[in-house]
Structures are given as structure tokens and as C-alpha cells.
Homo-oligomer: A and B are copies of this chain.
Amino acid sequence: MRKIDLTSFQVATSETARDINRRIVLNLIRSQQPISRADLARNSGLQRSTVSVIAEQLIAERWVTEGANGHTARGRRPRFLHLNKERVGIIGINIRPATTTIALADLDAHFVAQESLPTAGTPQQFIAELVPRIRKLIKMRPEIACEGIGVSLPGRVDLASQRLVFAPNLGWSDFDLKTALEKGTGMSVALENAANSCALAEIWFGRHAHGVRNLVAVTVSEGIGVGMILNHQLVQGATGMAGEFGHTAIVPDGLECRCGNRGCWEVYASNSAAVRYYVEAASTVRTGRNGVRPAGQVPTFDDLMRLTEQGDPKAEVAIRQMADYLGRGIAVLVTGLAPDVIVVIGEITRAWKHIGSVIAEAVKRHSYTRAGTRIVPADPLSQPRLRGTIALVLQKHFGAPSVA
């Protein structure tokens, strides 16, 4: 049960009931298509007459199309309704430190076109390079009417002003990316932190059991981000800063983090941490105890993954060390939030067969819960960061109406 916020609420008018039922019907069509009006009535609890009127409206507005007839054992054949995937296109932009991906998606969050460009050093330059590419992408598919742009970025967006506050891995801070992009493209833009985007992608398009109410996404790369869907809703916190569990202490007075504090989770469980573990182990062996490390031999995390797949024991030890710390942090989320599912996103998931059990073991050892939280890797092919940007824009049409 939610408390009504008397500082910002929405009264109901005569059209409110239609808005609510329309969204319910639209969502049922989205998730159960193809489906007949009769089944919609049965599954929603609405009268067949009401469903017919709503369906007519959705067809008139081109959200839904009427397709082939179905079959029944007896009686008149149902006329199937489908979601009209081509109704609107959405531009998704995934900004990462090295590369930015832009894509054009349909209503199913299926990408019909996609390309990448190097991420520029300054936001101004980035905008200058990005806007023409977006324009080109839209022109490539003139038959698709784009209605909005979603952006996922490794940083923080202020909830009230929607300004980019900081993005340490990009080296950007305090920039009005939203307005700049809107002016450049003429389309509305929604920004969101990468971990939050992933959480949205998983709850809207993920293949989890139905009715997942609480889902946590953990993005693991150079840092660690956490996106929380609790009570079916993204948790953004007071200013949009919620989810910085990567910067909570997992080792008191431990190693220094670039955030200025010590012992942060991401210092011990990020990709960089695994590289550090590997280098430390390797240098100890190779150079003895003098501590001098041969220059030019620092591997990338990708190298480490490849070595692990090839059976390199030192690489595997490093990866497992990282996974153990990952599990210790995830145990905090399991114990504190007790979600139905935690989704891990990042290059590390490619080695799930090596680390899945390590994480599970660490979680088991360090958590205290009966929630039965499942911990699963995200399918990297689904491009969660990018796909979340589509959800960000689609929410407007498919999300629950704001009421009271």
C-alpha cells in the first residue's frame, strides 16, 4: 500500500478509468499476443463490450493491429490482435567510456539498426559527433516514426534538473546532456544511469518468472553499479543517487577508492580488481619478493577472461577472487533487500561456469535471508544497457498510470 503524496498527486477524471483499462489491455496484448478480444476479457476481468471499445480505440491509434483468425474447437473463430511493433521507433544510446552505441528499436525492443562510435572526450564534442549520426540513423529508416531518445550512461543524473552530475569514467561532470540532445535532434530525451537502465531492461524485457516484484541489477565493469526495481518500480532515491552500493565499504579501512573513501566494494570486485589480483600473483611468482614488476605486461580484463577460458590457473584464481568479493557484496543486497532475483551484468558473466558457484557460495556464507533470491547472469547478447533505454521511453505508454 502506497501513501498518497499530497505534494504531487493526480485526481481522477471521467477519462481515468479508460486510461487505466487501456494500459492494462495494451500490456496484456504485448505479453500474450496474439490474443482475441474474448480472451482479453477473460484475462482482464473486463466485459467483452468494454474490451471491444478499447480494442477499437487502440487499433484506431495504430497501437494494435488485427491479424489472422484463430481456431477454437467449436464456435465462431476469434480475430487475433497483435501489438503493432512499427507504431513508433525509439532511439537508444548507450554511452560507455570507450564506445557509444546508438540503435533504432521497435516496440518489442528489437533493434532494427545499430552502430557505434568512439566516445568523445568532452560532452560538447560528443554532442557534435553524435547528433549527425542520430539524424542519419533516423533517415535510414524513414518508414519508422521515432518518438523519443533514451540514454544510458556510466554516471549520475540529477532527478530534479535531469542534468548529468558526474561520470568519472567519462571524465564528464555537470553537463546538461538532455537539453543539448533535445535541441540537436528535436526529440524528447530521457537519461538514466547504466545500472538503472539494466534493471529496467530486465524487468520489462527479461525472461524471468512472471510477477517479479523486486529485481536488482548489478553491473560489473571498471566500477560496480546497482539498479533496484522494488515494488515494480525503479528506486532513484532523493536526488537520483540511489544504487551506489559499489561505494559502500566491504573492507573497513581497506584499499583507497577513487571516490576518496576506503575499502569500497568495487575496489575488490570490479574488473580492475581482478586484473590487480592477477598482476599481484604473477609478479610475486616471477619477480620474487623484490616486488619489481616487469613493465608492459599488465593484461586487460579481456585478456584475463581469455586466459581463464584457456585454463590458465592464475587467471582463474584472480577471477574467482573477484567473484568471491562480488558474492560478498551481493550478499548485502540479498540480506538487505531480499529481492526475487539479482541479475549480474558485465563481461564476467561470460565466465559464469567458473564463477557462478563461487558467487553462490559467497552469498550463502555471508547472507541471512529466507527470500530464496535467485542470482542469474544477464544474457550479454540482449545488450541490457542499450535495451534499458528503450524501456525508459516505452514506460510512458506501457507503465501504470499515475493516479492519486
Contacts and interface: CB of A to CB of B under 8 A. Distances in A.
Nearest to A13: B17
Interface in A235-254: 235-245, 247-252
Interface of A: 1-9, 11-14, 16-18, 20-21, 23-24, 27-28, 31, 44-46, 156, 165, 203-204, 210-211, 213-214, 226, 229-245, 247-252, 259-261, 264, 328, 331-332, 335-340, 365-373, 395-396, 398-404
Closest 3 CB pairs of A and B: A237-B338, A7-B211, A12-B17
Contacts of A230: 230-231, 235, 242
B211 A244 contact: no
Contact of A335 (B4, B203, B210, B247): B247
How often does this chain occur in the complex, in copies? Answer: 2
Contacts of A11: 20-21, 24, 44-46
18 contacts: A1-B400, A2-B400, A3-B398, A4-B399, A6-B210, A8-B211, A11-B45, A12-B16, A20-B404, A213-B238, A230-B230, A230-B242, A243-B336, A243-B338, A244-B335, A244-B338, A249-B332, A261-B368
Contact of A252 (B3, B261, B328): B328
A16 B234 CA distance: 26
Given A236-B338, A249-B332, A403-B404, 14 more contacts: A5-B211, A6-B31, A7-B210, A16-B17, A20-B403, A156-B370, A213-B238, A214-B238, A226-B336, A244-B336, A244-B369, A260-B368, A261-B368, A264-B368
A6 B20 contact: no
A123 to B, nearest CB: 19
Contact of A24 (B4, B252, B395): B4
Nearest to A3: B232
A328 B369 contact: no
B261 A336 contact: no
A237 B230 CA distance: 8
B248 A331 contact: yes
A14 B15 CA distance: 10
A232 B2 contact: yes
Contacts of A20: 11-12, 16, 403-404
A237 to B, nearest CB: 3
Contacts of A399: 1-4
B336 A372 contact: no
A249 B331 contact: yes
Nearest to A26: B4
A370 B236 CA distance: 12
Contacts of A239: 338, 370-372
A30 to B, nearest CB: 9
A330 to B, nearest CB: 11
